[in-house]
């Protein structure tokens, strides 16, 4: 069965303390891996799509990387406004346009 | 504002009742997706419509149904509500291909069944 897991479940960082979030997946025929940010009570906001192993994408303090089995979201020198839940989702060949979402990592950045 | 509009934002209703959630997709998007997010289940795909036709079904209960109208807005109907149906219900929209840009989500409808 296709599965997407994320770790850690929750992460508390001091402002400026860099770290990484993990998304592990087991799917057949990965078409794309997506990262979303979700603020409390709001809909997820699209961050990145990664298509193939070795690919990297960056946006401000965030950098996403992809291997054949997992993806990392690196957060460099985070600020309190980076506090949110980060979700990864995978799209496989037999999903059509649909995703399987992971449970998310709840990130808190303390000033 | 993401461009995807969901109404109402909050809904409180009793068990056994029926409710309708409404979604207007972003301008130009033909696909509409419905997701349920509860604390213990995460984001679960319910159903997708493309240009008025059902395209894919996920873990949608028989008590739930949806449709997409000619103006592309969509409605999710939930009937015989149970306490366990309390959740955030998100609508998302996309152009035909989601690979480059993913979905655009609305801000959700919080349903509380009492």
| Calpha distance B114→B112 (Å, rounded) | 6
Nearest CA in chain A to B41: A103
Position B100 scores a pLDDT of: 67
Tell me which chain B residues have a C-beta less than 8 angstroms from the C-beta of A97: 31, 33, 48, 55-56, 94, 97-98
Closest CA to A75 of A53, A32, A105: A105
Q: Give me the tens of pLDDT residue by residue for chain B, a chain 114 residues long.
A: 789 999 999 999 999 999 999 999 999 899 999 999 997 778 999 999 999 999 889 889 999 999 999 999 999 999 999 999 999 999 999 886 666 678 899 999 999 999
What tens digit of pLDDT does each residue of A40-73 get? 889 999 999 999 999 999 999 999 999 989 999 9
Report helix, strand and coil shares of chain B as percent, to nearest 5: 5, 55, 45
The confidence score (pLDDT) of residue B71 equals: 95
Distances in whole angstroms, Cα of residue A72 to Cα of each of A55, A57, B80 = 11, 11, 42
pLDDT digits 0-9 by tens, A15-46: 999 999 999 999 888 889 999 999 988 999 99
Which residue's structure tokens are 């001091």? A14
Shortest distance between the Cα of A81 and any Cα of chain B, in A, equals 18
Q: What confidence score (pLDDT) does residue B97 get? A: 61
């Amino acid at each position: 069965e296709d599965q997407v897991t994320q770790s850690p479940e929750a992460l508390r960082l001091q402002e400026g303390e860099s770290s990484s979030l993990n998304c592990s997946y087991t799917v057949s025929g990965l078409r794309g891996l997506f990262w979303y940010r979700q603020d409390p009570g709001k809909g997820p906001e699209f961050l990145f799509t990664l298509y193939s192993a070795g690919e990297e994408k960056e946006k401000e303090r965030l950098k996403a990387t992809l291997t054949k089995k997992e993806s990392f979201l690196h957060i460099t020198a985070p600020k309190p406004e980076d506090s949110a839940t980060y979700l990864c989702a995978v799209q496989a060949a037999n999903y059509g346009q649909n995703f399987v979402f992971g449970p998310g990592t709840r990130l808190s950045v303390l000033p | 504002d993401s461009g995807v509009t969901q109404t109402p934002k909050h809904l409180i209703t009793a068990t056994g009742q029926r409710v309708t959630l409404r979604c207007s997709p972003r301008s130009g998007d033909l696909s509409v997706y419905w997701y349920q997010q509860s604390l213990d289940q995460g984001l679960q795909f319910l159903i997708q419509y493309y240009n008025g036709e059902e395209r894919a079904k996920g873990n949608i209960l028989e008590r739930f149904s949806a449709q997409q109208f000619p103006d592309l807005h969509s409605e999710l109907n939930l009937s015989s509500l149970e306490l366990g149906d309390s959740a955030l219900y998100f609508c998302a929209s996309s152009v035909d291909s989601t690979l480059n840009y993913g979905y655009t989500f609305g801000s959700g409808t919080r349903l509380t069944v009492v």
